[in-house]
């Protein structure tokens, strides 16, 4: 899987440039054959506006939310995109400046106001961004574009119109939730977020949103916290981007990347700061795994799992087998925060400079951890893992903690397997074989990868000067094999006559079936969904 492709032309810079939205869908030119059963919409979210007036956004996660749609119907394909009319976007466009602080870009008071007005603006409290550029997913019959704050935005998946802004704090005791919820077989949605309670108490709440019911009430109005997990530090919650769920358990990985709440409150109110200014890394805590049962939802305080420090953004899959919970993760070694390396100034460097910067960043690695459910009747110092197909270990220590060592499923120098996907509808929470991911070469997305998590075999799709996005797996109707389906990815080929295209790959062989090309550049996208 390791990529030796160089990018001296630095064409990747084009995916970090501002684009305009489209007035109407544009037709795509199709080469190859799109499977006749593949009819629906690929919806994607990402940044599309990287500066406002003379003010640039500084971080990859700051650009204003742009929603993309490739429609596949009757052998034809069209492409459409539209900016989400968030408060962040509308006010920025109205005032021609950055008005609401984003992940890595601080907003400052209007320079046209007098000094007293600007001074008091700093003490109005935190105005949280609603820039929903990370993902889009359904809740009941509706669709929401999301980021990681308490605001989600209802959108029309057909017209891409913005419908309304929803504040989850009105329904749930959370200060934000991840952009990676899990959906159960009955349509129930589970998610996790930080909760700052009375007296600055801190916890992680797992929330539940029921499926749509006949009473036509909004499922969000029926949402509830089902279980609370403790924080290892009172004033420093860990950054959480995703979590694991099996049929019977929730798995939360508490990593050493922390949000310093005191710094967050003080810096924001007094001098103006971005979210990134309030992160710090603990070089002593390592990484903790928390378990909770699902039904009934109860925190398992007697199970204390610990391992060495790593950054975590994406869980691949989590499942139960013979009294163990297997947790497959895309990790980055150490406590140094990976997002420190995703400032746009870094990603837009010439190739040699970008590579040099990446050598200072944490090393990516796909890892498997195994958590034993029975930790009480074993001898100290003994490996509790008895599964025959993994080298991961779990050793009980005298203080009651279980020290975990992983099995490495993939590792290559500065080569990441990230933005992972599986055959989710059939294998979420179940033993599986295949994961699909976006290959990052020194942080630049330049390939699509299929990984057999049992044999560690890999397959790669890659073309020179092509920059793909997260591959989404769509199963063939009636399929009996886990990898019988297609992968959908938006690819950018700067300099080509039609530089943006929807790529359709055979998920078994990772060979191209078709591509639908359009004559516009498409900026980087983060996550999304396929809507049949």
Q: Is the pLDDT of residue 244 over 70?
A: yes
Q: Which of 365-379, 388-402, 426-440, 447-461 has the lowest mean pLDDT?
A: 365-379
> Average pLDDT of 393-399?
95
> Average pLDDT of 468-477?
98
**What's the token pair of residue 110?**
């209007």
Mean pLDDT of the chain: 94
**What local confidence, expressed as pLDDT, does residue 112 receive?**
57
> Average pLDDT of 41-54?
98
**What local confidence, expressed as pLDDT, does residue 127 receive?**
85
Considering all CA atoms of the chain, what is the largest pairwise distance in Å, rounded to the nearest integer?
Answer: 70
**What local confidence, expressed as pLDDT, does residue 269 receive?**
63
Q: Which of 36-50, 199-213, 238-252, 513-527 has the lowest mean pLDDT?
A: 199-213
- How confident is the model over 77-136, as pLDDT tens digits? 999 999 999 999 999 999 999 999 999 999 987 655 544 444 444 445 568 999 999 999
Give 3-state DSSP helix, strand, coil % of the chain, rounded to 5. Answer: 10, 40, 45
**What local confidence, expressed as pLDDT, does residue 2 receive?**
63
Residue 397 in marked binding region = no
Residue 241 in marked binding region = yes
How many residues are there in the chain? Answer: 532
Asked if 288 contacts 243 with a C-beta cutoff of 8 angstroms, the reply is no
Residue 527 in marked binding region = yes
Residue 303 in marked binding region = no
**What local confidence, expressed as pLDDT, does residue 4 receive?**
73
DSSP assignment string, 266-321: HHHHHT---GGGGEEE-SSS-EEEEEEEETTEEE-TT-EEEE--EEEEEEEEEEEE
Place of tokens 């929470």: 429
Percent of the chain residues past pLDDT 90, beyond the cut: 88
> Average pLDDT of 200-224?
91
**What local confidence, expressed as pLDDT, does residue 227 receive?**
97
Asked if 230 contacts 240 with a C-beta cutoff of 8 angstroms, the reply is no
- How confident is the model over 350-385, as pLDDT tens digits? 999 999 999 999 999 999 999 999 987 667 999 999
Q: Which of 105-114, 343-352, 441-450 has the lowest mean pLDDT?
A: 105-114
Bin 419: left if φ > 0, else alpha if -120 < ψ < 50, else beta: left
Separation between Cα atoms, residue 365 and residue 340, nearest integer Å: 18
- How confident is the model over 29-47, as pLDDT tens digits? 999 999 999 999 999 999 9
Contacts of 20 (CB under 8 A, 6+ apart): none
Place of tokens 């006010």: 91
**What local confidence, expressed as pLDDT, does residue 268 receive?**
58
Coil, helix or strand for 426?
helix
- Does the CA dihedral 426-429-435-438 come out positive or negative? positive
Query: pLDDT band at 264, cuts 50/70/90?
Result: confident
Q: What is the DSSP letter of 476?
A: P
Place of tokens 């920025």: 92
Asked if 474 contacts 495 with a C-beta cutoff of 8 angstroms, the reply is no
DSSP assignment string, 88-135: HHHHHHHHTS--S--SS------TTS-HHHHHHHTTS---------SE
**What local confidence, expressed as pLDDT, does residue 123 receive?**
45
């Amino acid at each position: 899987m390791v990529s030796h492709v160089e990018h001296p032309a630095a064409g990747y810079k084009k995916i970090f440039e501002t684009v305009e939205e489209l007035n109407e869908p544009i037709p795509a030119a199709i080469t190859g054959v799109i499977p006749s059963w593949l009819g629906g919409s690929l919806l994607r979210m990402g940044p599309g506006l990287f500066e406002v007036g003379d003010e640039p956004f500084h971080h990859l996660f700051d650009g204003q939310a742009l929603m993309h749609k490739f429609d596949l119907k009757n052998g034809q394909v069209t492409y459409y995109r539209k900016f989400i009319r968030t408060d962040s976007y509308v006010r920025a466009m109205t005032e021609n400046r950055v008005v609401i602080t984003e992940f890595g870009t601080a907003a400052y008071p209007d320079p046209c106001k007098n000094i007293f007005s600007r001074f008091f603006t700093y003490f109005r409290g935190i105005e949280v961004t609603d820039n929903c550029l990370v993902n889009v997913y359904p809740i009941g019959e509706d669709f929401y574009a999301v980021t990681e704050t308490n605001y989600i935005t209802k959108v029309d998946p057909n017209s891409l119109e913005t419908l309304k802004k929803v504040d989850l704090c009105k329904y749930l005791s959370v200060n934000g939730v991840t952009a990676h919820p899990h959906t159960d077989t009955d349509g129930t949605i589970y998610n996790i977020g930080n909760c700052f309670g009375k007296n600055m108490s801190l916890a992680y709440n797992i929330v539940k949103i029921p499926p749509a019911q006949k009473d036509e009430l909004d499922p969000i109005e029926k949402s509830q916290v089902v279980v609370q997990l403790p924080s290892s530090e009172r004033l420093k919650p860990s950054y959480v981007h995703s979590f694991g769920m099996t049929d019977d358990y929730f798995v939360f990985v508490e990593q050493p990347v922390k949000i310093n709440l005191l710094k967050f409150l003080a810096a924001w109110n007094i001098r103006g700061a971005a979210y990134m200014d309030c992160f710090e890394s603990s070089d002593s805590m390592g990484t903790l795994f928390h378990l909770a049962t699902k039904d009934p939802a109860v925190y398992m305080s007697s199970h204390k799992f610990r391992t060495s420090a790593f950054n975590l953004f994406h869980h691949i899959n989590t499942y139960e087998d013979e009294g163990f919970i297997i947790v497959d993760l895309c990790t980055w070694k150490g406590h140094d925060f990976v997002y420190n390396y995703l400032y746009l100034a870094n990603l837009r460097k010439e190739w040699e400079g970008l590579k040099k910067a990446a050598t200072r960043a944490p090393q990516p690695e796909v890892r498997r951890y195994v958590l034993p459910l029975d930790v009480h009747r074993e001898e100290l110092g003994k490996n509790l893992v008895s599964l025959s197909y993994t080298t991961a270990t779990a050793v009980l220590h005298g203080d009651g903690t279980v020290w975990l060592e992983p099995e490495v499923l993939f590792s290559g120098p500065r080569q990441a397997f990230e933005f992972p996907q599986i055959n989710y509808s059939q294998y979420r929470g179940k033993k599986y074989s295949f994961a699909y991911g976006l290959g990052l070469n020194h942080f630049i997305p330049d390939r699509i990868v299929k990984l057999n998590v049992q044999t560690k075999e890999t397959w790669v799709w890659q073309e020179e000067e092509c920059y793909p996005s997260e591959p989404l797996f769509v199963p063939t109707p009636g399929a009996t094999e886990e990898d019988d389906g297609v992968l959908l990815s938006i690819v950018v080929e700067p300099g080509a006559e039609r530089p943006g295209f929807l790529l359709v790959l055979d998920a078994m062989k990772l060979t191209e079936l078709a591509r639908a090309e359009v004559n516009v550049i498409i900026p980087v996208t983060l996550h999304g969904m396929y809507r049949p």
